[in-house]
Amino acid sequence: MKARLILADGTHFEGLSLGAMGTAIGEVVFNTAMTGYQEILTDPSYHFQMVVMTYPQIGNYGVNPQDFESRRIYASGFIIREYSPVVSHWQANKSLNDYLINYGIVGISEIDTRALTRHLRDHGAQMGIITTSDEPREILLERLETGPKLVGRDLVKEITADAYYQWPLDEESKRNQAQSFKVAVYDFGVKLSILRALYEHGCELRVFPAQTSPQEVLDWNPDGIFLSNGPGDPEPVEYAVDTVRHLLGKIPIFGICLGHQILGLALGGKTVKLKFGHRGANHPVKHLTTGSVEITCQNHGFIVDAESLPQDKVEVTHINLNDGTLEGFRHKSLPAFSVQYHPESAPGPRDSRYLFEQFVKEMQ
């Protein structure tokens, strides 16, 4: 069946339907990873976004039960060049197309994703609509104009946990290793790979909803606070910024992605939206302390403005080698640090896993 992709600026692509039939709206962004579409689709940071995969053939290894990053698909749409109906992987239990249908996710294939990516790079990420309907283009554009927007909207409230929970969720999955540190995880859209990485580093985890008061977390008497990844614009998440201000100096804090941005805002910094963001598994980042270069996994459309941070209190630790933007910082006197990228590496290289060890040392 035919499908259409229409961007807010009127750019129009026609292709074939992938996944569910219907209409989907979201911010159209591109990801340069060659693999990992299952992790990308289930990453809560992609809530309200339609992902363009720049790698040309997608779906050839299907979907398996091991590589989910959350309980469902969070991306609002999926855009690819060529869909592979043939699935070949020993762990796969269904095709990508069936998986998208199961969660009602509308996608499109057989479009020129190279041209689309170049357009997004030149004109910026923007709202778009995928549809299998035959509604007139003018009506679809009007729906984009009057529909929901990304900037200024608190997406965290839409996806955070309803109540706190211990992780792992079941006793059978717990290992026989001693968990040395209690870590309170603020769930702004946390990925399962992050929870696994913290647990593997000896952390007993309790995951709290984003709006949990600092006192409720402190009453649990944790050894550290983790600020998770999450979707959208960090500035509307004011309650989390206020919470982090209250927690600073009381307990070690480690932030990733949106958690990094919230920590930056709590320290007096400002955030800005990138033209088309950083999304992929091949972004070079320089660790200024050691001089080493890490190849990192990234997914964000906003950054902390390095110049806005108080220079007498904050030390920049990592920068992006593609565009020089801030990728990490730490407080000079308090036990608090964060990075913009994803050291849990799902999908992506494991160059940055040392950051979890650094967090453990802070708690020690």
Q: Check pLDDT > 80 for residue 50.
A: yes
| Mean of pLDDT values over 245-262 | 98
Give the type of residue at 357: E
Q: Check pLDDT > 70 for residue 174.
A: no
Give the separation between CA 40 and CA 279, rounded to whole angstroms.
Answer: 10
Task: For residue range 179-219, list pLDDT tens digits in order.
Answer: 799 999 999 999 999 999 999 999 999 999 999 999 999 99
Confidence at residue 149, expressed as pLDDT on a 0 to 100 scale: 86
Q: Check pLDDT > 90 for residue 178.
A: no
Give the type of residue at 55: Y
- Please list the residue range(s) of the chain that carry CATH number 3.40.50.880: 156-363
| Mean of pLDDT values over 34-45 | 98
Confidence at residue 147, expressed as pLDDT on a 0 to 100 scale: 86
Q: Check pLDDT > 60 for residue 175.
A: no
Options 3.50.30.20, 2.40.160.20, 3.30.420.40, 3.40.5.10; CATH for 2-146 is 3.50.30.20
Give the separation between CA 191 and CA 214, rounded to whole angstroms.
Answer: 22
Question: Dihedral of CA 311/314/318/319: which sign?
Answer: negative
Task: For residue range 302-344, list pLDDT tens digits in order.
Answer: 999 999 999 999 999 999 999 999 999 999 999 999 999 999 9
Q: How confident is the model at residue 229 (pLDDT cuts 50, 70, 90)?
A: very high
Q: Measured between alpha carbons, how far is residue 56 from residues 60, 92, 110, 137, 357 in Å?
A: 11, 20, 10, 27, 36
Q: Check pLDDT > 80 for residue 242.
A: yes
Q: Is 342 a catalytic residue?
A: yes
Q: How confident is the model at residue 170 (pLDDT cuts 50, 70, 90)?
A: low
Tell me the percentage of the chain whose pLDDT exceeds 90. Answer: 95
Q: Is 27 a catalytic residue?
A: no
- Please list the residue range(s) of the chain that carry CATH number 3.50.30.20: 2-146
Question: Is residue 22 within 8 Å of residue 132, measured between CB atoms?
Answer: yes
Question: Catalytic pick from 39, 257, 297, 300?
Answer: 257
CA atoms within 13 A on the CB side of 88: 3
Q: Check pLDDT > 50 for residue 287.
A: yes
Question: Catalytic pick from 119, 278, 283, 342?
Answer: 342
Across the chain, the runs of DSSP E, i.e. the strands, are 2-7, 12-19, 23-31, 49-53, 57-58, 77-79, 82-83, 106-109, 126-131, 165-167, 181-187, 203-209, 224-227, 253-256, 271-287, 293-304, 314-320, 326-331, 336-339
Q: Check pLDDT > 90 for residue 177.
A: no
Give the separation between CA 229 and CA 240, rounded to whole angstroms.
Answer: 13
Q: Check pLDDT > 50 for residue 172.
A: no
Confidence at residue 197, expressed as pLDDT on a 0 to 100 scale: 97
Give the separation between CA 21 and CA 7, rounded to whole angstroms.
Answer: 19
Q: Check pLDDT > 60 for residue 176.
A: no
Average pLDDT, the chain: 96
Q: Which two tokens stand for residue 226?
A: 């983790």
Q: What is the pairing mode between strands 77-79 and 49-53?
A: parallel
Confidence at residue 173, expressed as pLDDT on a 0 to 100 scale: 54
Q: How confident is the model at residue 169 (pLDDT cuts 50, 70, 90)?
A: confident
CATH 3.50.90.10 given to domain 156-363: no
